[in-house]
Structure 1
């Protein structure tokens, strides 16, 4: 295991900045955790999946995650996150070391699933590889499709470089990412958590009171919503392409007719 090191913090604007970094991979109950933090009065929260984030945020997230120059990447992360108290999903959950360089006092919550196979099944349950040419081509004209594809492409490329893994998400990726997070985050700033653990460990870690009236921890599964969004984008994209091809075909027929008339007149 690598030696734990701390990067010199980047100067931060007073009164602004991230207090909580959720470092778990996508599909580790991050939407439920976001709802839980909001019940505790923590916010605003930056989460790309709930509700659907402005397209410009998805675009900027993809751009920052793909940056190779670390100085520029740190600037991009700070511009993206400075106005939020808690942040979820890539690029924050992917660039945890960079995030701690900017927000050295932030608490880190490593959201986890029961085991790697459960996480992988949840990830694959979206029903479509967002980096696939089919998704990109069919959804090309639909706002946000290319940017979401760019984000997942940059996400996969990052782990391929970092851990030498294949292109597809795997159980090995889940294990390596979690071990890396636990290795680089000081123990007193880290909580490994899943919603089934309830309010107590989360509230103790964050120094918050447990909600009264025996309020259960929220459970939100956005998988069905995301699948609907993806299917809708594919259907609408197909309709747009059919319209374009139809218009081109009709245009070609019209041009052929005009050429024919011109030759007959000649």
Structure 2
């Protein structure tokens, strides 16, 4: 997360399914794909924050139909995914990576690339921004209140609940965990290798730069530096910005109420 949301291009075809876990260089990967594919790339975190509140509501409704239990659920999920990624040349990061199996089915000609990272490094990166304290439920309630006045972000809590109760919980929390955990990286790798045909699945570390990625895609190495995006830092900045916006909105409401009360009191005294 942290990039600007991409605008879909109606003429774009989905060429790459990025199925690597968040915090595996997905932001850098997305920027590299924009250069190589010449079109917009759907980076999950960035799109959730920047594509408008209808987009987040649509994801919430889609996640409510997971785990898939019947044909109706399956139909809604497949149609929702197809609509969600229409107009993009590639898709990366959460929540799309949770639907790798469905995306592979919907786009049989797309390259499937799983970005990788040392599991311990991955967990250290995730743990740095993950609360696992006894006050987490209280903190989430406070955050929900702070964001309640903001367009799009006011739906963040509902989206997270649907995600955890749906596909994310199905894939990562069935072992008893309720939050991100050290074994989640391997659980995701197990999922990806289970649902993607081995002849289609390629693994890629963004630290290796252009050459291996271009080899997978069958294209020439561009004469520009490989993009390096600090995704963790960008995510933290986004979070701080949204919290500040939320607090500012509530301060504005408080000032408005206070001013109205003051005016009303003055009139009543007359």
Q: Which has the larger radius of gyration?
A: 1
- Structure 1 residue aligned with 2:126: 123
Question: Following superposition of structure 1 onto structure 2, how do residues 159-238 of structure 1 map, counting pairs within 5 Å?
Answer: 159-163=168-172, 164=174, 165-212=176-223, 215-238=224-247
> Structure 1, residues 143-201: CA drift from partner, whole Å, max 9, x if none?
22133444443333323233404221112221111111012111121111111122222
For normalisation by structure 1, the TM-score amounts to: 0.78
Q: Does the CA contact (< 8 Å) of 2:18 and 2:93 recur in 1?
A: yes
Q: 2:55 aligns with which of 57, 60, 64?
A: 57
Q: 1:65, 1:91 within 8 Å by CA — same for their partners in 2?
A: no
Paired residues of 1:65 and 1:154 also in contact (CA < 8 A)? yes
The SS at the match of 1:187 is coil
Return the TM-score normalized by structure 2.
Answer: 0.77
Number of equivalent positions: 244
Aligned to 1:132: 140
Segments of 4+ in structure 1 off by > 6 A?
127-131, 253-259
Alignment partner of 1:41 is 2:42: no
Shift in CA distance, 66/118, structure 1 to aligned 2, threshold 3 Å: farther
Aligned-residue CA RMSD (Å): 3.0
Indicate yes or no: 2:143 matched with 1:145.
no
- In the TM superposition, residue 247 of structure 1 has moved relative to its aligned partner by 4.3
Mind listing any 5+ residue stretches in structure 1 that lack a counterpart?
Answer: 1-14
